[in-house]
Structure 1
Amino acid sequence: METRQMRCVLAIAEAGSLTRAAEALGLAQPALTQTLNRLEREMGVKLFMRTRRGAALTDAGLAVLDDVRASLAHADAAADRIRAMGAGRAGRLTIGFVTHAVYEVLPRALRRLRASHPQLDIALREMSNAEQVEALEGGRIDVALLHPPVAVNARVHEKRLGEERLVAALPAGHALPPDGCVALADIAAHGLVWFPSEQMAALRTQMLAAFRAAGHDVRIVQDANRTLTVLSCVAAGLGWSLLPSSVRALRHEGVRYAEVRDGAGLPPFELSAMWLARSRPTFADAFAALLDA
């Protein structure tokens, strides 16, 4: 059944009369009658019982009416989408992000993006730094929200989104001194649970150097490639960790957070947006513009 034929069937069903349906469709009644007769011949079944009072659906007509409505709705939605894409209002944007982007940056930008591009399909992919770099180079994501510095073998734009100080994550049962802080020596004594070197090599190097500069030899006792995994390891007593201060928003059973009393030399935890540089404006450009709006 063609879309034009489905519109005729639906109009007749809703109007209850070929005359009123023809007026609603802007057609001459003989043309509508011919369309219906041709459709019924092709299908080998009567869809309407015509009387002097109008046209009533047969059992066969009633059986297909919901399918006709649904098919037309899908066809109209597809047409609207095509027009929106042609006008640059709709399309698809795939965003990769590290866990720390979900606390504030990503939700705020998504609200703004949905308001400005309501027909845009948005795909979200939580990924590590290394996974995002690979996906960005391969074109599998359009925007990466990650921790710099990273090297990308592609022409990209970068926008720094801010930085946070590092706070300690330690088992909830560990007692804190009156000031509620811990020292680098405490962290070094328990060992660090942290991200693998291939994820944030530069930050890892800077962090270990800060411990050495303060006179403490610290070991990475457990690698974990996601923040929740890091916290689970801390809760299990495998070691302590250092994470950006926004992690406090993530309540994890068995973990508590504390400021580092002598942590001034620790590197900041930065967040950046990276997206491929194109010769024409893209949805990634529009999304990036909303990150600090």
Structure 2
Amino acid sequence: MSGPGGPSRAGGSLDTRPMRYLLAIADAGSLTHAAEALGVAQPALSQAINRLEADLGVRLFDRSRRGATLTEAGRAIIDDVRASLALATSATQRARAIAGGKAGRLHIGFVTHAVYDVLPSALRLLRTEFPGVEVELSEMGNADQLTALEQGAIDLAMLHTPLPLPGRVRTKLVRREKLVAVLPVGHPLGADGRVGLAEIAALGLVWFPERQLPAMRAGIVAALQRAGLDPHFVQEANRTLTVLSCVAAGLGASLLPQSAAVLAHRGVQFADVRDGDGLPHFELGVLWIAANRPTLAEQLADRL
């Protein structure tokens, strides 16, 4: 039913017709002019206002041949009606945006490595394609992000892969880089500007705790052992900047993705590994929880 006495929904949105009719008459000063502006028949408009007045138990307009003017009761509520109509319109638009994945709240967890490229790319996409989304950002380690994702504390994780995943978690690889050596400034390099695995092993490794990146750490150990070297971890650090600080202090060497060089940390130098073909690649992936319908997190991941 589409008439004035119809249901509380019209055209897939909240039924704001009574408020719009009231405001149109108040602004136009007559039912005839208001009906023309609204594009409705004057009898239908008159019936709608009569019904509204009956529901409220007050007369909203004094009507005469000269037009329609607000009564004292009408003047008392007109500002509230304008505000209510604006809120109802905004609520309808927001509900549609959320249902379409274009609005809402998105909590993103990320490792330090994501700030070089992946996180800025994601934020640019959110700003241009999902402008109604409120974003919360939390820098977290790998293991903490996986726990937070499973518990619903974050919606999207940006972390190092591969890693074992629970059944409901989906993942997408977004970056894959070779590892390069991180050495204290002044450590001699070869004539080719590179360094060998033996030199890195001799300095000792500054790296992330095993629980944080178990597959990556195991790959580095295996590469060193295949080269006949004894892997020795001299210091553990759970953030990239901390790893760089430890190397700058002369505690040892490290192996980090090539993009980490953008940090330009004082006291360290980056160099390719001459015999590093057997080293694992440094991967960055995005993770989200699978749902019955595409979530905002999944839509964003698809675009990265």
Q: What TM-score, normalized to structure 2?
A: 0.70
Partners of 1:189 and 1:289 lie apart in 2 by 43
Partners of 1:218 and 1:88 lie apart in 2 by 48
- Identity of paired residues, percent? 56
- Residues 1:233 and 1:135: Cα distance change in structure 2 (over 3 Å): same
Partners of 1:195 and 1:99 lie apart in 2 by 12
Q: Is structure 2 residue 300 aligned with structure 1 residue 283? A: no
Partners of 1:73 and 1:192 lie apart in 2 by 61
Query: Could you tell me which residue of structure 2 aligns to residue 181 of structure 1?
Result: 194
The 5-angstrom pairing of residues 85-104 of structure 1 reads 85-104=98-117
CA shift, 1:89, in A, is 2.2
Q: Is structure 2 residue 228 aligned with structure 1 residue 215? A: yes
Secondary structure of the 2:161 match is coil
Secondary structure of the 2:114 match is helix
1:154 and 1:276 in contact (8 A); partners too: no
CA shift, 1:82, in A, is 4.2
- Residues 1:71 and 1:232: Cα distance change in structure 2 (over 3 Å): farther
Secondary structure of the 2:132 match is coil
Query: Could you tell me which residue of structure 2 aligns to residue 166 of structure 1?
Result: 179
Secondary structure of the 1:182 match is coil
Partners of 2:125 and 2:303 lie apart in 1 by 7
Partners of 2:195 and 2:234 lie apart in 1 by 19
Query: Could you tell me which residue of structure 1 aligns to residue 160 of structure 2?
Result: 147
CA shift, 1:106, in A, is 2.1
Query: Could you tell me which residue of structure 2 aligns to residue 252 of structure 1?
Result: 265
Query: Could you tell me which residue of structure 1 aligns to residue 277 of structure 2?
Result: 264
AA in 2 matched with 1:125: S
CA shift, 1:85, in A, is 2.5
Q: Is structure 2 residue 136 aligned with structure 1 residue 123? A: yes
2:157 and 2:288 in contact (8 A); partners too: yes
Note the aligned Cα RMSD (angstroms): 4.5
1:113 and 1:290 in contact (8 A); partners too: no
CA shift, 1:126, in A, is 1.4
Query: Could you tell me which residue of structure 2 aligns to residue 67 of structure 1?
Result: none
- Residues 1:239 and 1:74: Cα distance change in structure 2 (over 3 Å): farther
Partners of 2:267 and 2:86 lie apart in 1 by 51
- Residues 1:74 and 1:219: Cα distance change in structure 2 (over 3 Å): farther
Partners of 1:149 and 1:175 lie apart in 2 by 32
AA in 1 matched with 2:207: W
Can you give the 5+ residue segments of structure 1 that lack an aligned partner in the other structure? 1-14, 16-69
The 5-angstrom pairing of residues 6-45 of structure 1 reads none
Secondary structure of the 2:157 match is strand
AA in 2 matched with 1:230: V
- Residues 1:86 and 1:261: Cα distance change in structure 2 (over 3 Å): closer
Partners of 2:100 and 2:198 lie apart in 1 by 59
Partners of 2:194 and 2:166 lie apart in 1 by 41
- Residues 1:88 and 1:287: Cα distance change in structure 2 (over 3 Å): closer
**Count of residue pairs the alignment pairs up:** 281
Query: Could you tell me which residue of structure 1 aligns to residue 51 of structure 2?
Result: none
2:102 and 2:296 in contact (8 A); partners too: no
Partners of 2:162 and 2:208 lie apart in 1 by 15
AA in 1 matched with 2:188: L
Partners of 2:86 and 2:243 lie apart in 1 by 47
1:92 and 1:121 in contact (8 A); partners too: yes
Partners of 1:228 and 1:71 lie apart in 2 by 51
Partners of 1:129 and 1:222 lie apart in 2 by 18
Secondary structure of the 1:147 match is strand
- Residues 1:78 and 1:265: Cα distance change in structure 2 (over 3 Å): same
Partners of 1:112 and 1:195 lie apart in 2 by 30
CA shift, 1:205, in A, is 1.0
- Residues 1:157 and 1:86: Cα distance change in structure 2 (over 3 Å): closer
CA shift, 1:216, in A, is 1.1
Query: Could you tell me which residue of structure 2 aligns to residue 20 of structure 1?
Result: none
